[in-house]
Homo-oligomer: A and B are copies of this chain.
Amino acid sequence: MTIEINTHILLADDHQLVIDGLKSMFQNETRYVISGEANNGQEALSLIQSDPEKFQLVITDVSMSHMTGIELCRHIKQQYPEIKVLVLSMYSGVSVVKEALSAEADGYLLKSAGKDEFIQALHRITDGGTYFAQDIIPIIYNQYQREKAHQDALSILTTREREVLSLIVKEHTSEEIARKLFLSKKTVDNHRQNILAKTGCKTTIGLVKFAIRNGME
């Protein structure tokens, strides 16, 4: 005996064409049922609020009038965290993807995705997992990549200088650093001076930013 569980889906997209396309895509899928449609976020939210039990999953476009898919997602996750949200988009721009992630979307898919990928995404999400379009991983990772490239900047400093810098970043004064390292305050000040010169920074604030940028702390 197989237990047949239907997942009721709410589609939100301001292009009727997309909604129709998705509907035809799910025509033969018994597990997924399109139980509602909306042409903007506001409308979708109203539908959910009028019967919060009706939908288990929302598939929403990003760019919609009145309320974007991201905002819709945020609202849903705040008020009805048990409802899953799959965000659709034309693009895989880093900021949109990050927005979706920060809105706690369960998935992010490009509109160019085929039926197989759609079904796979829905399977994963309804099973309590997440699904993100493959292309976005290198994109959201780019930032880290960039930082990593400049990692070696710290190597222009000597061991002692790195030690001092680390304590500076930890908000210790020259006097405290001197005590900690059993040095004269003057020595510490000289190290500071040298670190400033080597890194091309003008102030302690610059040093702190330099250190953080380069993975210290």
Contacts and interface: CB of A to CB of B under 8 A. Distances in A.
Interface of A: 98, 101-102, 124, 129-132, 134-138, 140-141, 144-145, 148, 168-169, 171, 202-206, 208-209, 212, 217
Contacts of A138: 101, 130
A150 to B, nearest CB: 12
A53 B60 CA distance: 46
Nearest to A102: B148
Contacts of A148: 102
Contacts of A203: 171
Contacts of A134: 124, 129-132
A137 B132 contact: yes
A171 B199 CA distance: 15
Contact of A208 (B129, B144, B208): B208
A202 B172 CA distance: 10
B102 A169 contact: no
Contacts of A205: 168-169, 171, 204-205, 208
A217 B212 CA distance: 12
Nearest to A104: B145
A101 B171 contact: no
Contacts of A132: 134, 137
Given A131-B134, A134-B132, A171-B202, A101 B141 contact: yes
A114 to B, nearest CB: 12
Contacts of A206: 171
A102 B145 contact: yes
11 contacts: A98-B141, A98-B144, A101-B137, A101-B138, A124-B134, A129-B134, A129-B135, A137-B137, A171-B203, A205-B208, A209-B217
A65 B66 CA distance: 57
A135 B131 CA distance: 8
Contacts of A144: 98, 101-102, 140
A115 to B, nearest CB: 15
Nearest to A131: B134
